[in-house]
Every structure is written in structure tokens, then in C-alpha cells.
Amino acid sequence: MAKKTSGFLILAVALLGPSSALAGDDIPYHVVKGDTLIALGEKYLLRPADYRIVQQTNRIGNPRMIPVGKILKFPRHLLKYEAAKARFIAVRGGVSSVQGNARAQARTGAELREGAAVQTEAGAFATLALDDGSRVSVPSNSDVKIVRLRKYYLGSALDYDFQVQRGAARSKVAPLQSKNDRYQVRTPKAVSAVRGTDFQTRVDETSGNDFAEVDEGALAVDLTNGKSAAVGAGFGLAVTAKGEAISEALLPAVALVGAGKLQNNPAVRFALPGDGKAYRLSVATDAGFVEQIADVLSRDESADFGALEDGNYFLRVRQLSPAGIEGQPAVYAFKRRLNSVSGNVAPAADGWVFRWAGVGKGAIRYHFQLVRGTPDSVPFVDEAGLLVQQLSLSDLPPGDYHWRIGSVQYLDGESDTNWTPFEKFTVTAD
């Protein structure tokens, strides 16, 4: 059952457990013998003179005399850092990297720095790898900005901050090594701070709602009205345009009939329950969906991915709840190997001529069948192993007939037969 609360919110996402405290805007430092604020400022601050701010914040009287063992708080925005980087490990379709006023076509291996944005067109996808092994996947019609990408000198703390300005981003976050490491993903209504999790953050321009779906980890939700809520692993959160937060369990994984069958028709198509519910289907060349190549949202009886190239693929399916939260994933492996045939029949001077043409790789043979009466009757003509693409028949007795042609494909030590539907024609008496 969905739970609702009102007010705009800040989301904090963390693994539940002893180390579930989230990194804040300060990084602590344990004072050791010989430390002075002046020396620490030289070592860790962008502007050494800002040690005075640290002195004020921590209420230190003498910057040259600090009690050993005291914990000092250093504001992140004052700290020296090494610029971290993100790198494209997968690019498909129209993907651009934008840095300031400069725009470039994204390519695998290209690096991005703090302040850059990744923009994807319709049918385009990209995946970034971060220095710590985390991944950010950006689907079609999205705009994701890298707000911060830093490794501070103090404690070697990481600070990754992304802004989903349009569309979505899926984050697979490597376990953070320190409680001072911070990984955040922002949307217009929320900030998700993460400690090792797998989650998606989305902005729906049509409804004005923001979404977060968590496969691993947990959500600790702080509202601006002072209230808080917890959303565990396997749950999702929707934040409406009015600021109402809806938390609910992710719908269970969908069992699709025939999802793993060989896809040999011109269009790769998957049957859906046809219950009027919405389903998100994604196709990738790898089980981790780093190399995603297609994505479809469908409320119909099927989802069509068009003419994919031959190869091995993975299908991921999620059902959407009435609130728009995407459910748990079901992943299927399937093979795409085009083996298509079409044909027609026409009267000839001395009978009937059947013509056909096939498309597909490998060695192709054809199998012709003609039945008299209903399609489930014993074949009247049954010719297998044909190399030709037409067949003429004469002296057919009057009556109703059904015919079909099968394309038998031999490739990589395997065979596959794909039949056309039975087509009816009638032979009349002269």
C-alpha cells in the first residue's frame, strides 16, 4: 500500500547498518600532536587563510594550540581537491557531451570533468564509469549534469554529485570506502545521497513528478515540514508536482510468455499481458545493461523494437504502478537471428504459381506445403529442401486450399524454420 506525506523533500539513500550515517557538508579531522590550524590550512584548504573560518566554525581560541584528539569540521567547499573524472564506456546513437559552450559528439573512452553534461537524443544511450568503479547509465531523451566530481586531499574523500535535468539516470554505486565519501543525484524536488546501492532517478516532464526506484540499499527521507520516512530496498518513491511523496513497494517482476524465444521475424517483438497497464522494456547486449540499445514504454499488447541486428541480447521488463513507479526487473536472454520469408499465389495459364522470397544469413532452404480443406488437414503437397523460390501446380481439383512456405536456415551449426501463416485460395470448376 502506498504511503503519502506532504511537503517538498530531501532524499537520503543509504545502506542500512552500523555505517548508515550519510556524509554531510563537513569532513571531520582528528587532531594529532603538533597540529596547528595554520599548518592544516596550508595542507588542506584551497585558500590557506580560510583557516580562520575553520577556527570560527569549531570555536578554537588559539589556532596554534588545539587539543590532541579534538575533532575538527572542515567545510567541503573550502577544501583542496583532485579533479576526478568520468569516462564513456558505452555510447549508442545521438549522445553529446556539453562543457560550457562547447558541445561534442560523445565517443567511447572520452573523459568528462566536473561541470559537463551528458545529453541523449531519442533512441540514444550512454553509460559513464567513475574512478571508484561506479556507473551511471543515461537513457534516451535525458540531460544529466555532473555538478561535482572531486577527491578531497583531506581523508581522500570522494564527492560525486549529479543533476538529472531531464529524463533519467540509473546509478550502480560501488560501496563507498569511507563514511565521508558522498554520492548524490539531484532532481528538481529531491537530493539522493547514496552509500552503495543500485537505483534509478527520473524526472517526468509530462506529470511534473520525480521518481526514485531502489533495487539495492535504502531510502531515508527528510521532508521540509520536519517529518521523515524510511523506504527500504525494493521500494520506490514518487514526488508529485504538489510536493506529495508516495512510497510503495515495487511491483513484482513480470513473467513474460515467450520472452526468451528466438527472434527471427523482421521486427523484434515481445507479447505483453494486454491488461492496459504500462510496461518499460529495455534491450541491451550485456546482462548488466551497460550497453543498452533500446527502450520502449508500452500499454499495448506487445512491444516492438524494430529490426535489430543478429546477435545475443538481454531484455529487462518492469511494470509501472498507478503512481508511475517502475517495479522490480525481470531479465531474459534471447537470440536474434533474422530468418524471414513472404510469398504470394497467382493463377497461371495452366494452373497456379506460388512465389516467395526469404531474408537471412546462412544457407537457406524452403519448405512448401499445400493442404486441401482446413489448415490442419494432411498436406496435399509437401515439398522440402527447395532451393528455388517458386513452384507451379496444375490440375488442382476444385475446392478450398491453404498454403504456406517455411524458410529453413542453417547457420553456425544450428537450424531454424520460420513459417508464413497459412493463406487461403479457392479453385473453381471450369
Is the CA virtual torsion 268, 271, 274, 276 positive or negative? negative
Does 219 score more than 70 pLDDT? no
CA distances from residue 158 to 23, 85, 117, 165 in whole angstroms, order as listed = 10, 11, 19, 23
Does 397 score more than 50 pLDDT? yes
The confidence score (pLDDT) of residue 242 equals: 76
- Whether residue 389 is contained in a domain is answered as yes
Same domain, 350 and 290: no
Same domain, 289 and 380: no
Average pLDDT of 294-306? 95
> Among 317, 336, 355, where does a domain finish?
336
Compute the distance between CA of residue 249 and CA of residue 234 in angstroms, rounded to an integer.
Answer: 6
Average pLDDT of 256-264? 94
Same domain, 378 and 332: no
User: Using 50, 70 and 90 to split pLDDT, how confident is the model at 196?
Assistant: low
Compute the distance between CA of residue 359 and CA of residue 266 in angstroms, rounded to an integer.
Answer: 9
Same domain, 125 and 203: yes
Is the CA virtual torsion 370, 374, 378, 384 positive or negative? positive
- Whether residue 224 is contained in a domain is answered as yes
Same domain, 349 and 323: no
The confidence score (pLDDT) of residue 100 equals: 87
Nearest to 406 by CA among 371, 358, 374, 361: 358
- Whether residue 55 is contained in a domain is answered as no
Using CA atoms of 87, 182, 78, 43 in order, give the dihedral in degrees to the nearest 10.
Answer: -80
Check residues 14 and 124 and name the one with the higher pLDDT: 124
Q: Cα–Cα–Cα angle for 94, 174, 152, nearest 5°?
A: 95
DSSP reduced 3-state for 268? coil
DSSP state of 396: P
DSSP letter string over 92-108?
ESSEEEEETTEEEE--T
User: Using 50, 70 and 90 to split pLDDT, how confident is the model at 356?
Assistant: very high
- What is the length of the chain? 430
Same domain, 204 and 344: no
- Whether residue 76 is contained in a domain is answered as no
DSSP reduced 3-state for 47? coil
- Whether residue 109 is contained in a domain is answered as yes
User: Using 50, 70 and 90 to split pLDDT, how confident is the model at 21?
Assistant: very low
Average pLDDT of 280-295? 96
Sheet with strand 311-319: strands edge to edge: 292-298, 279-284, 311-319, 330-336
Q: Report the relative pairing of strands 158-172 and 182-187 from DSSP bridges.
A: parallel
The confidence score (pLDDT) of residue 18 equals: 31
Same domain, 150 and 236: yes
pLDDT > 90: percent of the chain: 75
The confidence score (pLDDT) of residue 8 equals: 39
Does 81 score more than 90 pLDDT? yes
Does 145 score more than 60 pLDDT? yes
- Whether residue 26 is contained in a domain is answered as no
Same domain, 308 and 407: no
> Among 219, 249, 279, where does a domain finish?
249
pLDDT in tens, 30-57: 999 999 999 999 999 999 999 999 999 9
The whole domain housing 381 covers 339-427
Same domain, 289 and 386: no
Compute the distance between CA of residue 382 and CA of residue 346 in angstroms, rounded to an integer.
Answer: 19
- Whether residue 219 is contained in a domain is answered as yes
Q: How many CB atoms lie within 10 A of CB 69?
A: 9
Sequence-distant (6+) residues with CB within 8 A of 291 are 90, 92, 127, 284, 285
User: Using 50, 70 and 90 to split pLDDT, how confident is the model at 210?
Assistant: confident
Does 2 score more than 70 pLDDT? no
Pair 297, 279: CB distance under 8 Å: yes
CA distances from residue 259 to 250, 305, 311, 333 in whole angstroms, order as listed = 21, 13, 15, 8
The confidence score (pLDDT) of residue 227 equals: 52
Amino acid at the residue 344: N
- Whether residue 114 is contained in a domain is answered as yes
Check residues 241 and 284 and name the one with the higher pLDDT: 284
Average pLDDT of 273-283? 94
Q: The domain spanning residue 96 has which CATH number?
A: 2.60.120.1440
Same domain, 318 and 343: no
Write down the mean pLDDT value for the chain.
Answer: 89
Sequence-distant (6+) residues with CB within 8 A of 119 are 95, 96, 97, 98, 142, 143, 144
Instruction: Tell me how many domains the chain contains.
Output: 3
Same domain, 276 and 400: no
The confidence score (pLDDT) of residue 1 equals: 52
pTM of the complete model beyond 0.75: yes
Same domain, 332 and 370: no
Q: Which of 50-54, 96-100, 418-422 has the lowest mean pLDDT?
A: 96-100
The confidence score (pLDDT) of residue 207 equals: 86
> Among 192, 215, 249, where does a domain finish?
249
Q: The domain spanning residue 346 has which CATH number?
A: 2.60.40.10
Pair 217, 195: CB distance under 8 Å: yes
Does 229 score more than 70 pLDDT? no
